[in-house]
Amino acid sequence: MTSGQNNPEESIDPCELQRWINIDLGIEGTRRIVRDDDNTLLISKFEIGFAAGVHELLSQTPELFEEQSVAEAYERETHQGGDRLSAWHRGMHAMLREAGNREGISDLRQAEVRAGIDSVYAILSTVLWTNPSIEDSYTPSEGERDAYQEALSSLSEERDLFTRIYGQFKGRVVVNHCPGASVARLMLEQGWSACTGYDPPT
């Protein structure tokens, strides 16, 4: 039988699933099954305990999720000129380095948070597609507001901007989920506010 046509109650062979991910989808690396029910296979590329470690790490860097701190970090970077998104990106990285030095967080652990910042930066770059400059007055275009709302329209407990759906395998939807999605959404909202000077569209 082919993927997507099997009995949803059929047990999943992790090795068979891994071959499907690597060979059929062309995705590198290993994935482990986190949850398996009749409809969904939730998988992760991270080892057991990684999600808890990420949230413990984020608890040591609270300024990354405080709107006032984010706005101030953005403002500190605006003297370099250029575009607003890059200023936000530099400011977030600078705050992370400062927190890492203060808390004794290794660069390897900081890299886990940098990856999240970079992911949000990529989303912001897609949404704020006019790439507003620091020097010019700016109001988000209607298209940018629509793009932001469209991106957020997919949010739910199981699916959001930071969730990737691989397809169907043996009757189940295969979902690869980022353990930091909830904080990444907050970072996205605050990034919009810092870069545009407006509240996120609702």
Alpha-carbon distances of 63 from 38, 41, 106, 200, rounded to whole Å: 41, 35, 18, 19
Residue 116 lies in a domain: yes
Q: Does 201 map to a domain?
A: no
- State the residue range of the domain holding 155: 14-196
Q: pTM of the full predicted structure? A: 0.70
In-domain check, residue 127 = yes
Q: Considering the domain boundaries, does residue 2 fall inside one?
A: no
- Half-sphere exposure (Cβ direction) of 140: Cα atoms closer than 13 Å: 25
Domain assignment present for residue 7? The answer is no
What is the per-residue pLDDT for 52?
59
Does a structural domain hold residue 182?
yes
pLDDT digits (tens, 9 = 90+) for 5-19: 445 456 899 999 999
Nearest to 187 by CA among 101, 105, 89: 89
Per the CB < 8 A criterion, the answer to whether 88 and 74 are in contact is yes
Give the number of domains in the chain: 1
Residue 27 forms part of a structural domain: yes
> Does residue 3 lie within any of the structural domains?
no
- In tens, the pLDDT along 31-49 reads 989 888 888 888 887 776 6
